[in-house]
Structure 1
Amino acid sequence: MTHIHKHLARREFLRRAALTTAWAGTPFAANLAAIGAAAAQTAGDHKALVCIFLHGGNDNSNTVVPFESNAYAAYQAARPAIALPQASLLPLSLTGLAGPQLGLNPALAAIKPLVDAGRCAILANVGTLAWPTTLAQYKARTVQTPLGLFSHSDQQTSWQTALPTRSSSTGWFGRLADLTTSTYNAGTGVSMCMSLAGNNIMEAGASVVQYQVTTQGPVLIDTMDPGHWRYDAAMATAMGKLLSEQRTHMLEQAYTTVGSRAIATGQRARDALAAAPALSTIFPTSGLGAQLRMVARLIAARSGLGHRRQIFFVGHGGYDFHDNLVDNQTARLTELGNAMAAFHAATVELGVASNVTTFTASDFGRGLQSNGRGSDHGWGSHHFVMGGAVSGNRLYGQWPTVALGGPEDIGQGRLLPTTPVDRYAATLARWFGASAGDLATVLPNLSRFATAADAPLGFLPVS
């Protein structure tokens, strides 16, 4: 069903309902039925962004590890009880790498072929920043830092809004959708922003409302769904009448608007999925695998949805490894790597690999220093970007010194980010179709770090 973000105030809820009604122009279900074939015919110009959010703060130091002997020795000395054996690492031969040779955690074996083939890139030491910040400035407290630094909830919000020093009712995905929906998905009736992981601030826009889908598909009201055994024609008619009547009370009108939109959107999405080509790619049976399989199905259904642009949010939890880091992270990264590899294979099967870019994000990285059996909350972290358009087998950003007391160490081996989330997001947004001028709206703090022309990091072409 379609949901308003849980943090929205009552006034914002009413404002969005009014916007939706004005946009539709006619009763919502009738408006959907009247959509012509034009949107579907232009669906060849298709792009999708898929965010895999690693909830809990993934340990970066055991995800991408120095493989070269001297650099590995410094890494091992910093976390003797939880360092991965050098012989277990999957060595990488990254093009143009400035720094020691690196290796992947062996749990990510499924995506190593994608890195080697140039379909996956690594973004080093990225994190939330309010302003460009040096280590000296951080220690002297002369530069503003993100609110709630090292806090799960605060840093998830900072990542997803790209506004780390103030509250926001919108996220950068949502703002991107606000600017591009009218160009690419006008009149489709199904939101550009779709979530497989419940409500998230990242996809909340000023006018775009995220659409939530389960791993089994849209959630419909059983008694109004002709395909369900509990369907009741009389009840469906009565409910339809109630939801089509105009109300004088603002809250009642908002409720009927949202209800009718949810019903019509669910039916449209269900029908589009039913008509989409079947997938032969086998996905892992994990929760993440099920989410990404549904994302692939929604991409396959893009013509039926009338979508030329799609934005997806997927969640993978359990990364808060204060204890038993090696075993727990091995399990999570195995799920991540297997699901990402299957998803890429599905995009190849669908012929859209170059039109889909998948990337990871997380609350924060973790400290290099071991707490005995795990690692504690940090700041900067390493992430993966995957897709046919990605210039992969490369590392983007600045590889940090993996040693306690290094030039990026703010204490306990926690990395001061050298690449802000803003530039990561700007690279994705420009590929997706945002203009250079749009970036100031999508990422209001970007100008603190780079001009719009300099913001893209190069792992994707500019649209």
Structure 2
Amino acid sequence: MSINRREFLSLCVKGSVSAAALTSLQLQALTGATNAVELGDYKALVCVYLYGGNDSLNMLVPLEGEQRSVYEQSRQNLAVESPLELSIKSQFAGGVGIHPSLEPIQSVFESRNLAFIGGVGTLLAPTTLSDYKNKTVGLPKHLFSHNDQQAAWMYGREKQSLNSGWGARLLERLELQDEFAANVSLDGTNLWQTGSTTSAFALNKSGISNINAFGGYQPRSEHVTAIMNRLLGNTGHPLSTAYANGLTSAINNTQAMNSALESAPAFITPFSDNSLSEQFAAVAKTISVQAKLSTQRQVFFVSMGGYDTHDNQLTTHPALLNTLAQGLSEFDSAMKELDMADKATAFTMSDFGRTLTSNGDGTDHGWAGNQIVMGGAVKGGNIYGELLTQHLDGPQDTGGGRLIPSVANEQYFATLAQWFGVPSSELADIFPNLSNFDYTTLDFFV
């Protein structure tokens, strides 16, 4: 069987060599590889994105007393029954509990490998209810909009003329943009991992790069190799040469990744049969072979959808939280198997929180919410930031139960970036609104 240049390039496109990935690889081919900063120990950040806007106000709830009564009045039919108590001194006088569907991570919390960050949201500067009403401080643009708030969380700043995700900016700041295995996505192209000179290397849930899908042609076969050499040879045209170099690099990187993954150990930890757990399993597998990939820092992106719970929330949201908790617990177990729990930190992001009030069957778009951070380097068993007072018409309610954040998402991100290896003096270069706050980072790492 023979194929021409057009057919071959079509097969490569069908093999999911994304335009973003090729652009990054072409830039590498044109500019040449640079020497990355010597970082010493290995570290990985795993972004767990919850698309739709998680009702995280129901992840942490008051147990007893006046605050419990206020919570039940505010949340109405959505109030969590029989929450699981957390053995900590809480900002809620009557104690604090987690949603029973989060039971798989209760033990991770109690073993001090998991923490919650309370009251997080997009902010340009500290904001009070008076500031909000009188417009005395700048506010993030297009609050409560899915697309805009997803971008704000993934960019880690207000949208600007030159946009890049903060995950990518970490790698570029540490001069790791040319290490293909440093930037790995289990959910395709996303804003968080797309930078000026880097984009994500995409794996599927089996941990095998999608570029293997050559429509029946095996990239290692002599037939395809011969065609590769002929079609991607020196054409004399700069653009064609850049494309050829980029495509060749993509295939070489894919083969290097697949070769490394073939040596990954089998985990004792059983991963659940759902998309998120399968993504976590692929991340764990990739981390297990990081030495073969010769990278000292990695960022990973996993995700799940369904959190836009305008209706049927009482059924939908508990199932979503349980899937999230299972995946986190399984990933924690796998990292402990590898003796790398202190080397990997998983953390959640979502579009926004949700309204305190029920719309009768669910909730609407809110603002502040709670997040999860997990790993052996985390000072777990605690809640950082501020547990929001779940009080309708209270001091943080802008109307309709949309609560003002007490912690900026950039403060949350800066803490993760600092642990990852970005010097404190350079955090404001990555997160430009940090200078508006009294403190730049939270104290949730050992």
| 1:284 maps onto 2:272 in alignment | yes
Within the candidate set 255, 258, 266, 2:243 is matched to 255
Q: Does 1:21 align with 2:30?
A: yes
Structure 1 pair 259/165, CA: closer, same or farther in 2 (3 Å)? closer
Quote how far apart the aligned CAs of 1:231 are.
6.1
Paired with 2:151 and 2:90, the residues of 1 have a C-alpha distance of: 34
Alignment-derived partner of residue 177 in structure 1: 171
Which range moves more in the overlay, 128-137 or 305-314?
A: 128-137
Amino acid at match of 2:119: N
After superposition, the C-alpha distances for 1:7-28 in whole angstroms (9 at most, x for unaligned) are xxxxxx8687234432249xxx
Q: Which residue of 1 aligns with 2:70?
A: 74
1:54 and 2:50 correspond: yes
> What is the CA-CA distance between 1:99 and the residue it aligns to?
4.9
The one-character-per-residue Cα deviations of 1:383-421 (angstroms, maximum 9, x if unpaired) are 111111110111111111111011111111111111001
Q: Secondary structure at the match of 2:66?
A: helix
Cα separation, partners in 2 of 1:332 and 1:379, compared to 1, 3 Å = same
CA distance in 2, matches of 1:399, 1:238: 61
The answer as to whether partners of 2:167 and 2:193 remain within 8 angstroms in 1 is: yes
Among candidates 152, 162, 172, match of residue 156 of structure 2: 162
Alpha-carbon offset, residue 358 of structure 1: 0.6
1:101 aligned onto 2:110: no
The answer to whether the 8 A contact 1:224-1:233 is kept is: no
Shift of 1:265: 1.1
Runs of 4+ in 1 over 4 A off after TM superposition: 13-16, 95-100, 222-226
2:229 aligned partner:
240
Deviation digits for residues 29-83 of structure 1 (CA, Å, limit 9, x no counterpart): xxxxxx9xx99xx997111000100000000222211112321111111122221
Look up the match of 2:336. Answer: 348
- Residue equivalent to 1:144: 138
Aligned match of 1:219 in 210, 224, 232?
Answer: 210
Which residue number corresponds to residue 443 of structure 2? 458
Q: After TM superposition, list the pairs within 5 Å mapping 1:440-459 onto structure 2.
A: 440-450=428-438, 454-459=439-444
State how many pairs are aligned. 430
Distance, in Å, in 2 between the alignment partners of 1:244 and 1:73 is: 72
Q: Does 1:393 align with 2:378?
A: no
Which of 167, 170, 195 matches 1:205? 195
1:196 and 2:186 correspond: yes
1:301 has 2:289 as partner = yes
Three-state SS of the structure 2 residue aligned to 1:45 is coil
Q: Distance in 2 between matches of 1:47 and 1:225?
A: 37
CA contact (8 A) 1:130 1:146 kept: yes
Instruction: Note the alpha carbon deviations across 1:179-218, whole angstroms, 9 max, x for none.
Output: 1144xxx87x424111111111111122222111111221
Q: Using the alignment, how far apart are the partners of 2:212 and 2:336 within structure 1?
A: 34
CA distance in 1, matches of 2:304, 2:215: 32
- For 2:111 and 2:202, how far apart are their aligned partners in 1? 34
In structure 2, the residue corresponding to 1:314 is in which secondary structure? strand
Take 2:23 and 2:275, find their aligned partners in 1: how far apart are those partners? Answer: 34
Distance 1:44 1:338 in 2: 32
Aligned to 2:370: 382
Quote how far apart the aligned CAs of 1:366 are: 0.2
| Correspondence for 2:126 | 132
SS in 2 for 1:81: helix
1:267-282 → structure 2 map (5 Å cutoff): 267-282=255-270
Shift of 1:114: 0.9
Contact 2:146 2:351 in 1 (8 A): yes
Q: 2:322 aligns with which of 334, 349, 352?
A: 334
Residue 32 of structure 1 corresponds to none
Judged with a 3 Å threshold, the aligned counterparts in structure 2 of structure 1 residues 139 and 279 are, in CA distance, closer, same or farther, namely: same
**Percent same amino acid among aligned pairs?**
36
Taking structure 1 as the reference length, the TM-score comes to: 0.87
Letter in 2 for 1:84: V
Give yes or no for contact 1:197–1:313 (8 Å, CA) kept in 2.
yes
Say if 1:325 and 1:375, in contact at 8 Å, map to a contact too.
Answer: yes
Report how far residue 360 of structure 1 moved.
0.6
Report deviation, 1:148.
Answer: 1.5
Q: 1:443, 1:2 → 2: CA distance?
A: 31
CA distance in 2, matches of 1:221, 1:60: 39
**Paired residues for 1:8-47 under 5 Å:** 17-24=26-33, 45-47=41-43
Cα separation, 2, equivalents of 1:206 and 1:340: 31
Larger displacement relative to structure 2 (231-240 or 314-323): 231-240
* Cα distance in 2 between the residues matched to 1:205 and 1:165: 13
Structure 1 residues not aligned, in runs of 5+: 7-12, 26-34
Q: Give the alignment partner of residue 115 of structure 2, picking from 97, 110, 121.
A: 121
Q: For the Cα contact (< 8 Å) 2:353–2:367, is it kept in 1?
A: yes
Map of 2:406 onto structure 1:
418
Deviation per CA, 1:360-383: give whole Å up to 9, x if none.
110000000110010100001001
How large is the RMSD of aligned CA atoms in angstroms? 2.5
Structure 2 letter corresponding to 1:211: F
Is the Cα–Cα contact under 8 Å of residues 155 and 191 in structure 2 kept in the other structure? yes
Query: What is the CA–CA distance in structure 2 between the aligned matches of 1:178 and 1:246, rounded to whole Å?
Result: 31
1:165 Cα deviation from its structure 2 partner = 4.7
Q: Which runs of 5+ in 2 are unaligned?
A: 1-15
Q: Distance in 2 between matches of 1:273 and 1:148?
A: 42
SS of the equivalent of 2:76 reads coil
One-letter amino acid of the counterpart of residue 250, structure 2: A
Change (3 A) 1:100 1:283: same
Aligned partner letter, 1:407: P
